Structure 1
């Protein structure tokens, strides 16, 4: 198991723990505490402190696959779970995903599938993570 501690752009202490055998990367943001696990995809789990409206951790299962580069850029994953969340929870999750410290490692964007149809997608900023490892 490999562990590294860094400071993000906003000064948050982040502990990166990589289990090579299981191919799982966990990022712990600041102090650990009570949190609710939210499965963003089958491979990406956000632990969220809803009261403080902050990320406690981010778990990336099958990290080597999540961080693969394709011919077109980083491998991206649909975040279908956002559509099934209650509005208040979705608002908190979106804010957490699009601000530091989470946004330094996981990028959220959208895919336009029609004139007015959009699908949220995310990708792991593997270059930033590997730079710290």
Structure 2
């Protein structure tokens, strides 16, 4: 949690990610990563990425706000956002977990 105890709106981004935001202040309140050991495990070709299917359930305004919050710290310290383009006319937002810094 980035702001413990603060009331927030929960946004289920995927089966593995729950983002909590303060809509009025346009900022992240918390990020929950379910099954971290699975989603953070790299594949043989690089980081494991997964689609942010939950964005499709949001209003255009809330989707835009959520994408903005995802691309700023503190969320961007944990998630890397990108797009998968299955065709020239479609882009699917995807994310991967950033590696945690090594302990000193």
Common fold by TM > 0.5? yes
User: Please, what is the CA RMSD of the aligned residues?
Assistant: 1.6
Structure 1 position 40 matched with structure 2 position 13:
yes
Q: Which runs of 5+ in 1 are unaligned?
A: 1-27
SS in 2 for 1:82: helix
1:37 and 1:29 mapped to 2: Cα distance? 14
The answer to whether residue 65 in structure 2 is matched with residue 74 in structure 1 is no
TM (norm. structure 2) is 0.91
Alignment counterpart, residue 107 of structure 1, candidates 59, 67, 80? 80
Deviation beyond 4 Å, 4+ runs, structure 1: none
Q: 1:118 aligns with which of 91, 94, 103?
A: 91
Q: Deviations over 1:25-61 (max 9, x none)?
A: xxx2145411011100011000111111110110000
CA 132–57 in structure 1, closer or farther in 2 if over 3 Å, else same:
farther
Q: Which residue of 1 aligns with 2:67?
A: 94
Three-state SS of the structure 1 residue aligned to 2:102 is helix
3-state secondary structure, aligned to 1:29? coil
Question: Does the Cα contact within 8 Å between 1:32 and 1:56 map onto a contact in 2?
Answer: no
Q: How many residues align?
A: 104
Of Structure 1 and Structure 2, which has the larger fraction of its residues in strand? 1
Q: Which has the higher contact order (CA 8 A, sep 6+)?
A: 2
Instruction: Specify every segment of 5 or more residues in structure 2 that has no aligned partner in the other structure, as ranges.
Output: none
